[in-house]
Structure 1
Amino acid sequence: VLCGGYSSEREISLITGKAVWQALLNKNIDAYRVDTKNRFLNQITENDYASAWIALHGSDGEDGKIQSLLEIMDIRYTGSGPLACSLTMNKLFTKRLLLQNGFKTPDFKLVTHINQFEKVADLLKTPFVLKPCSQGSSIGVSIIENKNDFEKEFQALEKFNDWIIAESYLLYSEYTAAFLNEKILPLIKIDASHEHFYNYEAKYFSDETKYICPSGLDPRVEKRIQKRCFNACKLFAIRGWGRIDFFIDQNDEPVILEINTVPGMTTHSLVPMAASEIGIDFDQLCFDILEMSAV
């Protein structure tokens, strides 16, 4: 089980890795937990591992590099391949590909300079969202109300050495769809109304965030949205498992925020919640994802 690493999501990756490792042990799998921050290549090459369960979040596990390395080493691994990961890790590439193929996503603009507030505000109106292009777990995401907010947050985002994008701030209800073994699981509605948006704290640590599954949507609407989410997964060649986060607009259409190739697997995580709705417990889910590993 590869976890930890160097990315800004290291803390969550360690929690995911421990949970997955324990689940595999519970299923009588000879599993080992490997923190990729600690000379992990030596551990991999010195041991005859059959598969790698990738529990690395952010750039360490979702940008395609670790997948490419494992393919070179001829080691089976969980989840999507290098191309799918590299495309979905970059929110700008994701959005452009979605729009080119008829999917909705919030309006956006690439921001390259601290003096662009007026230009962005004219296009997206205030408030708008400012975020790093290739971070996950809502790390670095902020709501911009005015020029002072913009300049302060732009400077804060420069530490990520990443592209910065601005995005329309939408007030639609947020949902998530888990992809597992060529199926979309029951949708989950997210209620983080105690925050301005579904941020890092709300995702992983807040007991005030509410998750509603079944989602409460009309079954016909849910089925149609599941089909759209499935088609989006196929567009990006998502394999094995993953998750799509989206709003639902006034026309009951999904407005896709992002696609995750290595979603969290903590006690607050959404893929295990959706899987439990169809009778798959956490241990079995981790085992099933392992069974779908490929090289």
Structure 2
Amino acid sequence: MNDNKKRFGKVAVLYGGWSAERPVSLKSGAQVLQGLLEAGVDAQGIDAGRDIIDVLKAGHYDRVFNIMHGRGGEDGVIQGALELLGIPYTGCGVMASAISMDKLVTKRLWLGMGLPTPNYRVLTAESDFDAVVAELGLPLMVKPVKEGSSIGMTKVKEANQLAAAYHKAAECCPVVIAEQWITGQEFTAGILDLTPLPLIRVEVPGEFYTYDAKYISNETQYHCPCGLTPALEAQLQQLALSAFQAVGGSGWGRVDMMLDNKQRPWLIEVNTNPGMTDHSLVPMAARQAGMSFSQLVVKVLETTLV
């Protein structure tokens, strides 16, 4: 136990923040803090506000476990501040965080590298919505490009629903995309120090993996082992790692993907600070790999050691 205090020094666990994902981050932070304390780490929880730089300076912390979700915490902003302060931190750096938080930039990067991701169109208030439907087909997924946890997303099943879905997403973020709907199975791959964790197959009771399905419902089913053949699972794990490295990912993260009915994979998004609540996926995958939650958070923290 004392070894972890010596190895890591004084650790600030940053959670909360000011994004729409604040409630989830508060839960993640509480879990992470408890896990680190159980491992004997000298950790202190901080509900991050706009004065976070002053708080970190005053606290004389040796490193940061960043578990803030969404804008401010997962988009390169806090990462840039920590770089200026010279404090090592968990998760991706400034560039990878900024890219991954922007679903549009991520998709453009993947497409430029020949990685499979669903076709899309950027929507504006002046968009010809009928033309978008004609090109991409129905159903469609409409999403704000800089929100996580499925906030602001809508599955559009009829053409006359697209305008309303756009306006709902635009309330969360000025840039909105409509994405080709993929029918098939949903998988997620945790990445820990550039090693993929066992895949999880997510089975949701509703239309898609909504906020409620992620954090509230007890009807969502998680399958780990995922049920794929070892060869196919390994193929998807490698694709997830390639997608993570494409955005410059480091430390840890999670890649979400679909496997369509013809067994073709499609990359959906990268999460650079995945949820760590009792409903979250990376801890489930870590358990399958033989790691307790406390061991997992210590391994994440180890990625800050230089």
The two structures share one fold, judged by TM-score above 0.5 = yes
Count of aligned pairs between the two proteins? 294
Alignment check: 8 A CA contact 2:182 2:260 kept: no
* Residue 245 in structure 1 maps to residue 251 in structure 2: no
> In structure 2, do the counterparts of structure 1 residues 115 and 253 end up closer, same or farther at CA, with 3 Å as the change threshold?
closer
Deviations 1:58-97 (A, max 9, x none): 1121111110110000001001100011111111111111
Q: Distance in 1 between matches of 2:199 and 2:125?
A: 38
When structure 1 is superposed on structure 2, of 69-78 and 118-127 the one drifting more is 118-127
Partner of 1:233 in structure 2?
Answer: 244
- Distance in 1 (alpha carbons) for counterparts of 2:243 and 2:108: 13
* CA distance in structure 2 between the partners assigned to 1:199 and 1:161 by the alignment: 18
Verify the 8 A CA contact 1:77 1:294 in the aligned structure 2.
no
8 Å CA contact retained: 2:199, 2:224:
yes
Give the whole-Å Cα distance in 1 for the aligned partners of 2:263 and 2:300: 31
Contact 2:14 2:65 in 1 (8 A): yes
Identity of aligned residues (%): 39
Query: RMSD of the TM alignment (CA)?
Result: 1.4
**What corresponds to 1:61 in structure 2?**
73
Letter matched to residue 190 of structure 2:
A
Bigger relative contact order, structure 1 or 2 (CA pairs below 8 A, ≥6 apart): 1
Alignment of 1:4-19 (within 5 A): 4-19=16-31
* 1:193-204 equivalence runs, <5 A: 194-204=205-215
**8 A Cα contact 1:17 1:55, kept in partner:** yes
Q: Does 1:92 align with 2:104?
A: yes
Equivalent in the alignment of 2:272: 261
Equivalent residue in structure 1 for 2:87, among 70, 75, 81: 75
**Cα offset, 1:119, TM superposition:** 1.6
Displacement after TM superposition at 1:108 (Å):
0.5
Q: Offset at 1:282?
A: 0.3
Distance 2:139 2:159 in 1: 11
Counterpart of 1:21 in structure 2 is: 33
CA contact (8 A) 1:126 1:145 kept: yes
Aligned partners of 1:78 and 1:294 also within 8 Å: no
CA distance in 1, matches of 2:64, 2:209: 30
Q: Does the 8 A contact of 1:131 with 1:141 survive in 2? A: yes
Task: Measure how far apart 1:174 and its partner are.
Answer: 0.3
Alpha-carbon deviation of 1:40?
A: 2.3
Distance of 2:297 and 2:52 partners within structure 1: 22
In structure 1, C-alpha distance between the alignment counterparts of 2:261 and 2:181, rounded to whole Å: 15
1:159 aligned to 147, 167, 171, which one? 171
Structure 1 residue 251: deviation in Å? 4.6
Deviations 1:96-120 (A, max 9, x none): 1111111111111000125532021
Partner AA of 1:244 in structure 2: V
Whichever residue aligns with residue 48 of structure 1, its letter is H
Counterpart check, 1:131 vs 2:160: no
How far, CA to CA, are the matches of 1:115 and 1:256 in structure 2?
25
Q: Evaluate the alpha carbon distance shift between residue 110 and residue 149 of structure 1 in structure 2; reply closer, same or farther with a 3 A threshold.
A: same
Encode CA deviations 1:225-253: one digit per residue, 9 max, x unaligned: 21121122222221111000000134533
Structure 1 residues 131-188: Cα deviation after superposition (integer angstroms, max 9, x where no partner): 1011001000001133442222222223224300000112110000010012101111
**Contact (CA 8 Å) 2:27, 2:277: kept in 1 or not?**
yes
> Residue 282 of structure 1 aligns to which amino acid in structure 2?
F
**Structure 1 Cα separation of the partners of residues 244 and 262 of structure 2:** 21
- TM-score normalized with structure 2 length: 0.92
